[in-house]
Each structure stands twice: as C-alpha cells, then as structure tokens.
Amino acid sequence: MVLASSYGFSSSASASANKTALQNAINAAYHVELPEDANVVDFEGPITLRPGTRLTGAGVTASQIRCTTDLAFVYYAPTGLNLMDGPELTNFRLACAGSGIQLNDPNGNFSEASGSAGQSYIMRPRFRRLSLLGPSVSATGSFGINLNKCFSAVVGQCTIERFERGYWGRGSDFETITNRTRILDCDTLIHTEKVDTFGSGMLIDGADLLAPIRTFIKSSNRHLMVRDSYLEKQNGYTLVGPVLDIEHNYITSFERNRLEVPFSGKSPENETIQMCPQFLKVSGDGRGALFEFVGNTSLSLGWGTVDWYGGAGSFYVHDEFVRQKIVVRDNRQSLPVPFVTEDSPPLRSEYRDLWVLSPSTNGLSAGNYGTGCKVVDGAFVIPALSSYGSLLLFRDDERPVSGPVVIRVLAKASVAGQQLYVQPQNFGGTASASTITLTSDYQWHELRPAIGTPAVPISFTDLAIYLWNDDTTHGGAAHVKQIVVERA
C-alpha cells in the first residue's frame, strides 16, 4: 500500500501535477490511499487504472477529489480472451467536469470468435461508498460509471448524480446495483444494454432512484431483475420518456418495488401537470420468455400509460424450450398487457368445462406451425395465410380429454365474414374441419363433432383442436379469445 500524498498528490499542487502524482502512485502499487484533506484536490484525467487496483479514501467528506477534464478514471483491458481483475474504488467523493469511471471501450470489439477476439473481460470490479457528482444532466455523453464487457460488477452504497447517464452498462453480465445506492438528477438514471451475446443478468436490488429527466431504467438486457427498490418523481417537470423503457428479450422481472411515479403531480409553480404520463414501454420482437410485474405498489396517484409493443401484442411462444409467460399480479393497479398466465376466472365459468383454453391458460400447448401468432388484448390473433400458413394446435396436455364433447369458440374477425377453420381430432390423427363465419364482434360459436346419418357424436381418445385462417379472400385476422370444451 502507498499513500498518494507521498507522490505529491495534494490540494496545494496543480491539477496537472496531481495527475502525474496519482498515476505514479497507481503504477507503483496495487493499493493506493487518497489523502484526508480539508480541501478538494483537483487533478487532470484520465488516470489509468491497473487490473486489481484498489483506490481508497478516508470517506466522502474527508477525501474529496475533482477531475478538471472530460474523464476521471479509465481501464481498457488488452485484446484477447483473458479474464482481467477489475479495480476497486472505495470511500471517496469524485466531482467531474465530464464523466467519472470507464472500464473497457463502449465502442470496442465485443467479439469472442476465434481469430478476432475483442477486448478481454474485466472481472469483479467493485465500487463502494463513492459519491460521484457530474457537471450537469445536460452534459451530453457524460456518465457516472460506464462498464463494458465487465462481469460480476457491484455498485454498493454509492451516490451518483447530475450526469446524462448515471450508470451505463454495455455488454456486461451479472452487474449489480445494491445496498441503497442512490442515483438521482440524471437524464437517464440507469441504462443497461446488450451487445451481441453479452448483456445478461442485471440486478437492481434495494436501489434508490430519484428524479430523472427522461427515464428511470432503460434496458435491453437479456435478464433484467429489479426488486425491493424505490423510484420517485412526484414533483418537478414532466418526465420526458417512460418511467421504465424496456426492450424485453428473455427475462424481465420487477418485484416488490415502491414506484412513486404518478401520472399527475405538482410543478415547481405548484400547478397540477402530467408528471410521469408514460409508465411502461415494452419493445423488442415480442418473443421474450418471461415478463414478471409482481407486488409493486405506491402511496401516490395512479401510474401512467403502458405501451406494449406499440399495441402489436406479443408472439405466443410455446415449444420444448420456451413457455412464454406474462405474470402481472398484486400490484397497485392492473396493467393492460396482452395476456397474464395466472389462474383467473374463465370467461364462461358456467360451462361444465373440461378445458377453458385462452392465452392465459396454465399448461396450454399452442403449437404454431406458420407465421407467428400474436396475442393482443387477451386474444390469439391469427392472420389470413394460404396453405395452412396460420395453423395452430391447441391442447391442454396436463388435462387430456376423451369421449364425446361440445366445443365452443369465442371469436371475432377484423373483417366481417372472415372464415375460421376448426378441426377437432385425436392428437396425431385426422378428421374433417368445420367452418365458422365470424363477425366484427365477439360471439360464441358451437361445434358438436359427429359422424354419419343420423349423426353420432365422435368419441375422442386424446382430443386436439386445430385452428387456421386460410380465408385470404376476406383477408382479415381472426381473434380467438377462448375455447371451451365440455362433455356432450
């Protein structure tokens, strides 16, 4: 361990001289202690950290340093597939004329392909009890902490304020912001994004996120977890973007958060205005496996609007690898999401049903053999495609059905007169299809599968129901909200 002051790092020295002094200290030892100084110590950046550097202070009031140039601290790992130890910065205050701390290059090569390896991995960087103060929320490109191709980073008990982006993670895995870290007064408080195959496992646990200009959390992370945190903006000026701006890729989870982000609030002039008019924006390809929004609450007024894929709905994904689920329950208010995979009262509970199949049915297998079926407003939306291009299979494999049945389908069409084909048969077998003519309003349609004259009900041994929309003449989409199967 060395003292930075022993190399001349002092409030009485110039910023240029302090750059040389601090860099020499870091080059000489892995553990460097900043001085306890009554005055702020100015220095020019960037200071280049080394793998495993420990830079510690005596506290955020006792050790106050200020970078007078665009970037304070940096470490770029060498090219290759190496696992480089990350630095640890602890227990001091850093004021910035530009940005704070950057590990690896956000515009660098993230590839790990043979023969074209990009920058190496930086492992386990730690930031504890830091106070990072930026120049202004309008300082374009500024950030408090920027981590690129870093793994298992932890930001704990820190304060980050007055940057364009408070925390910016790019192509990093298993980042954690925790232990009541406070991020406030930034344009965007937290921005985590995927790059190529990198960018998964971001955990925001017990964070205090306050008063952004644009958005609280912006994410394209493949596995985002936000829990037991506090988000607040109840006064000031209107939030420019959504509270939560999420590109939903694989798993997104919000659990037990307090979200004091009301649709309306008070301006600095004490006028009632739209405070956070956009609550949640979800984008992406609509194939994310799991979206959870569970047990989130507030003591203020209701939340703002939800934009779910621009109203286009989600693909209904179910195969041997992925069961798409959207779980929304126990929150301050309901969210208008396409479907919710929770046990809920069926639309026709008076039926003596064997199956009640809808996008929210637990255990439902819906095989899509054509162009992707989407779910919008709680209904399967089946496009008009020729040659069985929209063929769907419905079967509750947790509750197989046998014997004679009555099938009722609740459906409508975007174009009145649209034909929907329904073919009940034994799974893996063959049968004849029935045609349902749809109206532009939801109606129940009944089928009683039978053969012969007089008609004899078909006794199934393992029922499966096939639906498709080959009616390209009308060209509209069929909306199927529920399929009810009961004994004949």
Q: Average pLDDT per run of 10 along the chain, which is 488 residues long?
A: 97 98 98 95 98 97 97 95 95 98 95 74 98 94 98 98 98 97 98 94 98 98 98 93 96 97 89 94 91 94 94 78 82 88 50 74 68 84 89 85 94 95 90 92 94 91 92 94 90
> Which pLDDT score is estimated for 477?
92
Interatomic CA distance for residues 301 and 234, integer angstroms:
9
Nearest to 478 by CA among 443, 446, 454: 443
Nearest to 286 by CA among 342, 324, 323, 328: 324
CATH entry 1.20.120.10 includes domain 2-232? no
Interatomic CA distance for residues 228 and 255, integer angstroms:
7
- What is the DSSP secondary-structure string of 209-266? EE--SSEEEEE--SEEEEES-EEE--BSS--SS-SEEEE-SSEEEEES-EEE--SEEE
Interatomic CA distance for residues 351 and 358, integer angstroms:
15
Interatomic CA distance for residues 73 and 444, integer angstroms:
66
Q: Do 393 and 414 contact (CB within 8 A), yes or no?
A: no
Pairing of strands 374-376, 202-205: unpaired
**278 Cβ contact list (under 8 Å, min separation 6):** 239, 241, 242, 243, 304, 305, 307
Interatomic CA distance for residues 316 and 83, integer angstroms:
39
- What are the start and end residues of each CATH 2.160.20.10 domain in the chain? 2-232
Homologous superfamily assigned to 353-487: Galactose-binding domain-like (2.60.120.260)
Interatomic CA distance for residues 73 and 48, integer angstroms:
6
CA 90 to chain centre: 29
Interatomic CA distance for residues 246 and 113, integer angstroms:
29
- What are the start and end residues of each CATH 2.60.120.260 domain in the chain? 353-487
